[in-house]
Amino acid sequence: MDSAGEKGLAGRPRVLVPEKLSPDGLALLRTTLDVDERKGLSPADLLSIIGQYDALLIRSETKVTEQLLQAAKKLKVVARAGVGVDNVDVKAATQLGVIVVNSPSGNVGAAAEHTIALLMALARNVPDACASLKGEKWERSRLVGIEVKGKTLGIIGLGKVGLIVARLARGLGMNVIALDPYASPAVAQSANVILVSSLEDLLPLVDFLTIHTPLITATKGMISSHELNQMKPGSRVLNVARGGVFDELALLAALESGHIAGAGIDVFTTEPPHKEPDSSAALLIAHPRCIATPHLGASTVEAQENVSIDVCEQVLHILAGDLPRSAVNAPLILPAEYKTLQPFVKLVEKMGSLYTQHYTGRKQSSPRDTFDLIYQGEIATVSNTKPLFAALVKGLTAPISDHAAGNVNIVNAELISKERGIFINEKKSRDASAQTYSSLITLIARPPSRSTSFSRGKSGSVFTNPAEAMGEASQHIISGYCSDNSPHISRIDRFATSFVPEGNLLICHNYDSPGKIGVVGSILGREGVNINFMAVAPARYSSNAIDVQPVDGSITPAKDRTNESLMILGVDKEVEDKVIKDLVSEGGVLNVNSVAL
């Protein structure tokens, strides 16, 4: 090791930078910290020296494994100059008390501008025209384009990137409509964006379509043949979000038929696509009406500088004992409280994600914007419930917006709630004397409110019966508890159950008749889907109301109980739409939702 890396000034924290970062950010660190730039380290080299450092700054190449974190005895923070933290073992870092931060906003402007660049390139045939002219051709009549002024841009996911795209498009004179169940109506109105409630309302109206969502089960293949066929003939599509939100083969077919006039694609299911020449990504890129770029959405000088400065500032704050702006994990409470809360943080996040995926899918009911989060039993005695509040916001928003799951934490949860128009009221019952569960958490989702303004409910408020939190019975309810630090779901609306919310799940609503389980099992087996576990949830509650379950945990017999039930199946892989359709048609199931937790 060189002398700079061997020993810094006495008492100054040390920072290791094994990848190239913008010098502007590193200059900030050098004012109070010792910074060692050690590019080209092998994993073994990194492992041998990591124990000397208080902070580690990385981009995408360095793998921060559990083994590395175990060896990093002094490490307080891992800072990722960018958004994704797939190369960091966040769970191990959390267990070891290492804060993981990223820069979720540093490159949003770059991604939005690249979206507009592809939009304009499609409209005016820029790449084709350039290639033609370089080929010594003069094809003005063949390359006539269209103007974007007066055209309609449809945006799926009105988060940070989507909102900037909307404002840029408005500046070009475009009309903008958007689909996002948690978009704030006030923010949308301020950007002159019209919100719609479904893909069916959005797709037939747009001349250009762009998506800005994460890639999860609910968004994978979101735009396929059915959706593309709903679009206007001659419309165009853009993807600067995640490879896979468009069904690449369906898009290729739509381009071949001419129904879709063009596609501007920056992200692919296979990257780099040439690794698999026969992949859907490679075939799509080869199409003459596809303008393709090699994942350049965040690749600007300014974006790289922004993310470097952002994470370097956070490292300074954390090493000074302050809170970070963008903690991916958030062990920023007292150790004793964190130990108590940790399993419930996971539970509440799963409950929020389960709600969003189960209830607000394309064929489900309209989204709610008002939620009650009710704590009963021992969990109600914890004074700091901010991690639970943050976990709910994280679970609710991660499946449907470009706030990636790791970007919501106790630092920014209330801000994100305000931005998304989500109202969460926390309530407590400290009477645990007769609880069936030592701690029970219930999430109640109310119908959309036109007049609700953001306010975080007072977590110290105490009530004696959860019925105080309820209005009409059109709300949705999910309850859960923890057993041996493992989260369990105990209720979904009228149905009583007990299952661990983990992995790929199928939630089947069906009539509870003999042989139903066997029929469903045979259909899944025929399609090569293995069932890891199954839980049957009978209709044990009289309605979608919480007052049928008193605080003592007893269950009132349902007066209007039917022979309906839920069948919750844990499966070994994502289930395709065709299989879900077969379950409904052949299996006699009322409806099926696929959920990834």
Q: What is the CB neighbour count within 10 angstroms for residue 52?
A: 18
Q: Confirm whether 242 is a catalytic residue.
A: yes
Q: Which of 12, 124, 289, 295 is catalytic?
A: 295
Nearest to 178 by CA among 195, 161, 201, 166: 195
| SS3 label, residue 201 | helix
CA angle 586–591–597, rounded 5-degree value? 115
Element (H, E) at 23: helix 23-30
CB 452 within 8 A of CB 423: yes
- Annotation says 80 is catalytic: no
Query: For the stretch 393-403, what's the b/e string if a residue is b when 16 or more beta carbons lie within 10 angstroms of its beta carbon?
Result: bbbbbbbbbbb
- DSSP readout, 463-481? -S-GGGG---TTSEEEEEE
Rounded-to-10 torsion of CA 570, 575, 578, 582: -10
For Cα atoms 180, 184, 189, give the angle at the middle one, nearest 5 degrees.
Answer: 100
- 490 — alpha (psi -120 to 50), left (phi > 0) or beta? alpha
Q: Tokens 């507009």, residue?
A: 116
Contact 56, 77 (CB under 8 A): yes
The C-alpha atoms of residue 256 and residue 266 are separated, in whole angstroms, by 19
- Known catalytic residue: 113? no
Q: Taking a C-beta distance cutoff of 8 angstroms, is the pair 51, 74 a contact?
A: yes
User: Catalytic residue among 6, 271, 276, 574, which?
Assistant: 271
Neighbours of 71 (CB within 10 A): 15
Contact 574, 545 (CB under 8 A): no
Please tell me which residue in 14, 80, 114, 242 is annotated as part of the active site: 242
Check residue 546 and report its DSSP letter. Answer: G
Using CB atoms within 10 A of its CB, is residue 451 exposed (0-12), middle (13-18) or buried (19+)?
Answer: exposed
Q: Note whether 109 and 167 are within 8 A (CB).
A: no
Pinpoint the alpha helices (H) of 360-408: 386-397
Q: Which residues are catalytic?
A: 242, 271, 295
